[in-house]
Chain A
Amino acid sequence: MMFKKVLIANRGEIAVRVIRSCREMGIQTVAVFSEADRNSLHVMLADEAYHIGPAPSVDSYLRIDKIIDVAKKSGADAVHPGYGFLSEKADFARALKKAGIVFIGPTAENIEAMGDKLASRELMKEAGVPTVPGSPGSIRDADEAVKASNKIGFPVIIKASAGGGGKGIRVVHDPKDLPSAFRACQSEGKNYFGDDRVFIERFIQNPKHIEVQVFGDTHGNVIHLFERECSVQRRHQKLIEEAPSISVPEKVRQQLGAVAVKAAQSISYIGAGTIEFIFDNNTKEFFFMEMNTRLQVEHPVTEMITGVDLVREQIQVAQGEKLSITQDEIQKNGHSIELRICAEDPITFIPSPGKIRLCRIPQGSFVRMDSYAYPGYEIPIHYDPMIGKLIAWGKNREECVARLQRALAEFMLTGVKSNIVLHKNILNHKKFLDGSYTTQFIDQEIADRDQQELFMFVDEKVFLISAAITAFKDNQSRDIPQYNTFSRWKNLARRDGLRR
């Protein structure tokens, strides 16, 4: 069936992103919005827009009943959930099905299979997908610990099962340190947490976040669209993503793709999904972490290197069509990097909602901005501080980085704090440039920088002089006659006084 109208059960840049592909496909779009989002860009861009409740998302964007009501009222054939909100709620997929509306995403069963992290890891293990090597159960004594560790491979991390806050955790690099570390963990576990059960796992020294984009259709086809690296993270949230990863050798890339396809096939996955792996940059091994059963924030970098519009593909698959490309037809071309632009303090990462004054978005060759920001828009406090994503393509990584640096230099966003300046710093950092960065990068290399260092692109005096001249002008244009309209003499004397 061909959709005539699609409801987008989301807001922000992803709602705008989905509207764009719908419009290109000749599909009408229905926006839903909370009280705080009347002025949001997706409401203005969609063909229809329906108010669905107060600002808190539990009362609006998470209300399955209201969204289904609007879908029925507007006559939408399908609902695109975007990411976040209801995108990975099996109940939502089921409720839509019951209402005779297509959910543009995986099946409710797919979502449930991957919804529980621990259960999904066991499921993947059974399907032959590598997981972080570890002891199958708790280890009783030092001898057993040595045996298990030799099998797992050093370095290992010993964890008291109840451990936390740095207690009951030991990393062991040298086998001869193992017995004492094991006993220490066991006794810490017992003393601090009243539980002496201890587990052993492989310790990943230089961990990178590598994920693979997969796509399945209702005809049993599953393909992958190469990997993305998302190791630049703050507070466990991604900040920069790129495709392909500079750290993945070609041979490992083939394995990654094959394993990801196998993982998706094992649950008969339908639609866009992402298999996340932890990648050991020393050994180049990768281990399954979890699967995200939705379109990812960072999907544009995959689009840029493969030329596939992932949202269009999602819609076509939901319409029951076969994937428009086969595995053999997918070529990766060049390099793409995405920077998440957030209205937040670049040092503390505290969100900075408020009114955008100026917003000059970078343009020029091979630069893409997926955003919902515009001048005068008031960023609400209720939702994510990410206002958009700056994406660039280059025929190689160096060209891509240079293009992004250029784009950042053009970016003008005022009225709210933003992490633009943080991105400038990261894009100048040796470890980012040589690709050796890991998930610890922000904490170890960036987080303790102060403003002075972060703002190195500006001569400090520029701030002061600009403020002074502006204050001077404001002072002069202030309605002075308001104070003393009665006597011209007083007025003159007063002006004279001010001139001194």
Chain B
Amino acid sequence: MLFEAEVNGKNYEVKVNEARQHWKVSIKEEDADWVNYEISKEDYQSLDNTISFIFENSSYLVDAVGSGTEYTVYTRGAYREVKIFNDEMLLHESLKSGSAMGDSDSLTSGMPGKIVEVFVKDGEEVTKDQPLIIMEAMKMENEMRASADGKVKSVNVKPGDNVESGQTLINFEQ
């Protein structure tokens, strides 16, 4: 899996692959060559809610706290904020922020895309987690579900429509 990352003002590309016995992590700092690390799973273990990480024979207790594409990594009393993301994570994040129905009374698109399918119609009662729309964005189809029980007031799009970021797709009754 390929990520872009930013730590302490520097940009990196990071490749992570999981093998049976180890993690393969390759890091490329801007303008530098790829550096490969093969980290035995023995040396990177989750224990007691922390990660015990033996890196080049230094033993670290690590806690990596993530929310979406941003992680804070704590170890040895120090910490770093690490931004790490790939296309899929960006998409997931934007959909998550776009499809919240709790505060607003509408479903909006988190990013530009194309409507593939619409499962509900005007006046329909929906329940939490019921699929509402499938939208294609960044070459992936993504299902958007109701975040709460409610009643559809109006569906503003139909399959095949191109939509902009922030566009209202469905209105709900208050």
Inter-chain contact total with CB atoms closer than 8 Å = 145
| Cα distance, A466 to B60, chains bound together (Å) | 10
A462 and B60 contact, CB distance less than 8 A = yes
Chain A CB within 8 A of B32 CB: no
A463 and B82 contact, CB distance less than 8 A = yes
A472 and B66 contact, CB distance less than 8 A = no
| Cα distance, A415 to B73, chains bound together (Å) | 9
Residue on A nearest B23 in the bound complex, by CB:
A469
Binary flags per residue of B5-26, CB closer than 8 Å to A gives 1, else 0: 1011000101010100001010
* Most A Cβ at <10 Å: residue of B74, B89, B145: B74
- In whole Å, how far is A417's beta carbon from the nearest beta carbon of chain B? 6
Binary flags per residue of B76-118, CB closer than 8 Å to A gives 1, else 0: 1111101011101100100000000000000000000000000
Residues of B within 8 A of A455 (CB): 78, 80
Residues of A within 8 A of B25 (CB): 465, 468-469
Given A463-B80, A469-B23, A494-B140, decide whether A414 and B16 contact each other with a Cβ distance below 8 A. no
| Cα distance, A493 to B75, chains bound together (Å) | 39
Of the stretches A25-33, A80-88, A226-234, A478-486, the one at the interface is A478-486
- In whole Å, how far is B86's beta carbon from the nearest beta carbon of chain A? 8
Of the stretches A1-9, A157-165, A418-426, A430-438, the one at the interface is A418-426
B66 and A474 contact, CB distance less than 8 A = yes
Residues of A within 8 A of B50 (CB): 358, 412, 414
Residues of A within 8 A of B64 (CB): 466-467, 469-470
Residue on A nearest B68 in the bound complex, by CB:
A474
A482 and B8 contact, CB distance less than 8 A = no
| Cα distance, A451 to B9, chains bound together (Å) | 12
From 51 to 77 in chain B, residues with beta carbon under 8 angstroms from any chain A beta carbon are 51, 53, 55-56, 58, 60-66, 69, 71, 73-77
A466 and B78 contact, CB distance less than 8 A = no
Chain B: interface residue total (CB-CB under 8 A): 52
Residues of A within 8 A of B78 (CB): 421, 451, 454-455, 457-458
- In whole Å, how far is B96's beta carbon from the nearest beta carbon of chain A? 11
A462 and B75 contact, CB distance less than 8 A = yes
Chain A: interface residue total (CB-CB under 8 A): 47
Given A464-B27, A475-B89, decide whether A458 and B75 contact each other with a Cβ distance below 8 A. yes
Given A415-B65, A463-B82, decide whether A472 and B18 contact each other with a Cβ distance below 8 A. yes
- In whole Å, how far is A470's beta carbon from the nearest beta carbon of chain B? 4
From 132 to 174 in chain B, residues with beta carbon under 8 angstroms from any chain A beta carbon are 139-143, 145
B143 and A483 contact, CB distance less than 8 A = yes
- In whole Å, how far is B131's beta carbon from the nearest beta carbon of chain A? 8
A471 and B89 contact, CB distance less than 8 A = yes
| Cα distance, A454 to B49, chains bound together (Å) | 26
Given A459-B55, A485-B143, decide whether A468 and B3 contact each other with a Cβ distance below 8 A. yes
A465 and B145 contact, CB distance less than 8 A = no
Residues of A within 8 A of B84 (CB): 467-468, 471
Chain B CB within 8 A of A325 CB: no
Residues of B within 8 A of A424 (CB): 77
Binary flags per residue of B26-37, CB closer than 8 Å to A gives 1, else 0: 010000000001
Residue on B nearest A499 in the bound complex, by CB:
B1
Chain B CB within 8 A of A460 CB: yes
A417 and B58 contact, CB distance less than 8 A = no
- In whole Å, how far is A210's beta carbon from the nearest beta carbon of chain B? 29
Chain A CB within 8 A of B39 CB: yes
B5 and A467 contact, CB distance less than 8 A = yes
Residues of B within 8 A of A251 (CB): none
Given A358-B49, A483-B143, A484-B143, decide whether A467 and B77 contact each other with a Cβ distance below 8 A. no
| Cα distance, A482 to B27, chains bound together (Å) | 31
From 390 to 436 in chain A, residues with beta carbon under 8 angstroms from any chain B beta carbon are 408-409, 411-415, 417-418, 420-421, 423-424
Residues of A within 8 A of B86 (CB): 475
Chain B CB within 8 A of A452 CB: yes
Residue on B nearest A420 in the bound complex, by CB:
B77
Residue numbers of B with Cβ under 8 A of A are 1, 3, 5, 7-8, 12, 14, 16, 18, 23, 25, 27, 37, 39, 44, 49-51, 53, 55-56, 58, 60-66, 69, 71, 73-80, 82, 84-86, 88-89, 92, 139-143, 145
Known: A459-B58, A467-B73, A494-B141. 9 other contacts (CB 8 A): A412-B50, A412-B63, A414-B65, A418-B77, A464-B12, A467-B5, A471-B3, A471-B66, A471-B71
Residue numbers of A with Cβ under 8 A of B are 357-358, 360, 408-409, 411-415, 417-418, 420-421, 423-424, 451-452, 454-455, 457-472, 474-475, 478, 482-485, 490, 494, 497-498
A-B pairs with lowest CB-CB distance, top 4? A420-B77, A467-B82, A414-B63, A414-B74
